Amino acid sequence: MASMACAMASKDYSKRISSTCASSQQTCGRAFVTRLQPLLGSCRYKLQEDDPERVIALLRKHDIHYLLYIGGNDSADTAHRLAQSAQQVGYDLQTISVPKTIDNDLPFTDHCPGYGSAARFIALATMDSTLNTVSIPWHYPVKVIETMGRNAGWLAAASALGKRHEDDPPHIIMIPEQAFNVDRFLTQVEAVYRRIGYVIVVVSEAVRDEQGKPLGTVGQVGEDAFQHPLLSGAAQYLVELVKQHLQLRARFDKPGDLQRMASNCISQTDQDEAYLVGQAALLALLSGESDKMVTLLRHTEPAYHCSTGLVELARVANAQQLMPNHFLDESKTMVTQAFFDYALPLIGASLPDHAKLAKTKAQL
């Protein structure tokens, strides 16, 4: 989300790293990561008006001339502002932004490190949570699962990655890019319930109604450092709608922070690409680049893999990449094959295919 981590180095330190890099780029990356571990820090802080000047003074004091800034949209803005401030005062500072956000909403990159693992978690959580509902559908026939994602629906969409048949969960996906309509939602829920006897809904925390008001304001608990609302009420709101208007029992699940920290769901592809962008960022610094972000470029031949590129931070800062229309079907509440083709390579190993038992009523 808005959190970030950064690494800094002096010119003397970079010379030692450069000498290591002269023999091998792979050795360069491993050496830097090994030596970098004690230098990483993290925060959730928005630069105030006079902060860049103070930061540059602090960097100058400690002879810091190289900055790797890891994070999403807000972090890209911070890195850009620091690079511009250093240039304005004539301080020699090279800044590279390293993409990392489970929201997957950074523009100019095919996807963001962190998303593949979070998407894997969401897909598995949806499959596992559904097993409880399917076992006793008459008890709580409607379940709503709430995901993170701020203004983009990438995480909510990932809930469908374990879906193999039309009636597999989830049955309805609500994302921020599509305005919420109460009547349309209730009609869909009732139709699915009548057809298969239970309904799994996945909703992004920031889904908005047709007036632009987030459903989650029911449980808003303030704002983060970047003035983004901290929402927690979308799932509760939908559950109450179902109870009141359809007279169906409903409940909700909220994975919360587990979406971005469940180490048991790390995608190997995601982990490898996180290393790749970190290595590319270091090499960019050492080649004289600054005020740019590393990007991932997708290749499909002979098999899925990524290379890296660079984009100017001025184009990235505070910009967002939302779910494109062709990733959604006509209902706008389910993903298309194009989304499966995009996301499945990112989540690593194949998801489990749980056995299903035929339910036959015993005749007395």
Asked whether residue 17 carries a pLDDT value surpassing 60, the answer given is no
Could you tell me if 26 and 206 are in contact, meaning their C-beta atoms sit under 8 angstroms apart?
Answer: no
Q: Which residue has the tokens 């909703």?
A: 203
Q: Which has the higher per-residue pLDDT, 155 or 26?
A: 155
Residues 277-327 have pLDDT tens digits of 999 999 999 999 999 999 999 999 999 999 999 999 999 988 899 999 999
Asked whether residue 360 carries a pLDDT value surpassing 90, the answer given is no
Rounded Cα distance, 173 and 328, in Å: 10
Q: How many CB atoms are closer than 10 A to CB 332?
A: 15
Residues 231-278 have pLDDT tens digits of 458 999 999 999 999 999 999 999 988 988 899 999 999 999 999 999
- pLDDT tier, 34 (very low <50, low <70, confident <90, very high otherwise): very low
Q: Is the peptide bond before 302 cis (omega within 30 degrees of 0)?
A: yes
User: Which of 236, 198, 201, 202 lies closest to 217 in space, CA to CA?
Assistant: 236
Amino acid at 317: A
- pLDDT tier, 225 (very low <50, low <70, confident <90, very high otherwise): low
Asked whether residue 219 carries a pLDDT value surpassing 50, the answer given is no
Q: Which residue has the tokens 């790749």?
A: 276
Q: What is the mean pLDDT of the segment spanning 118-133? A: 95
Residue 20: predicted pLDDT: 47
Joined tokens for residue 20: 């290591």
DSSP annotation of 201: E
Name the average pLDDT for the chain: 87
Joined tokens for residue 68: 């790797």
Could you tell me if 328 and 336 are in contact, meaning their C-beta atoms sit under 8 angstroms apart?
Answer: yes
Amino acid at 184: R
Residues 174-184 have pLDDT tens digits of 999 999 999 99
- pLDDT tier, 31 (very low <50, low <70, confident <90, very high otherwise): very low
Residue 311: predicted pLDDT: 97
Residue 38: predicted pLDDT: 42
Residue 232: predicted pLDDT: 55
Residue 74: predicted pLDDT: 86
Joined tokens for residue 72: 């999403």
Q: Is the peptide bond before 170 cis (omega within 30 degrees of 0)?
A: yes
Amino acid at 245: H
In the chain, alpha helices (H): 11-21, 25-36, 51-61, 73-89, 115-135, 154-158, 182-196, 234-246, 268-286, 313-316, 337-343
Map out the domains of the chain with their CATH numbers: 4-101+265-316 (3.40.50.450), 115-263+322-346 (3.40.50.460)
Q: Active-site positions?
A: 103
Residues 316-357 have pLDDT tens digits of 988 899 999 999 999 999 999 999 999 999 999 999 998 888
- pLDDT tier, 43 (very low <50, low <70, confident <90, very high otherwise): confident
Could you tell me if 56 and 267 are in contact, meaning their C-beta atoms sit under 8 angstroms apart?
Answer: no
Q: What is the mean pLDDT of the segment spanning 7-30? A: 53
User: Which of 129, 124, 145, 148 lies closest to 259 in space, CA to CA?
Assistant: 148
Could you tell me if 85 and 52 are in contact, meaning their C-beta atoms sit under 8 angstroms apart?
Answer: yes
Residue 4: predicted pLDDT: 57
Grouping H, G, I as helix, E, B as strand and the rest as coil, residue 60 is helix
- pLDDT tier, 33 (very low <50, low <70, confident <90, very high otherwise): very low
Rounded Cα distance, 32 and 278, in Å: 9
- pLDDT tier, 198 (very low <50, low <70, confident <90, very high otherwise): very high
Q: What is the mean pLDDT of the segment spanning 26-38? A: 47
Q: Which has the higher per-residue pLDDT, 267 or 18?
A: 267
Residue 314: predicted pLDDT: 93
Q: Which residues pair with 250 in a beta bridge?
A: 142
Q: Which has the higher per-residue pLDDT, 11 or 26?
A: 11
**Among residues of the chain, what percentage have pLDDT more than 90?**
66
Q: What is the mean pLDDT of the segment spanning 28-33? A: 47
Residue 363: predicted pLDDT: 80
Q: Which has the higher per-residue pLDDT, 16 or 92?
A: 92
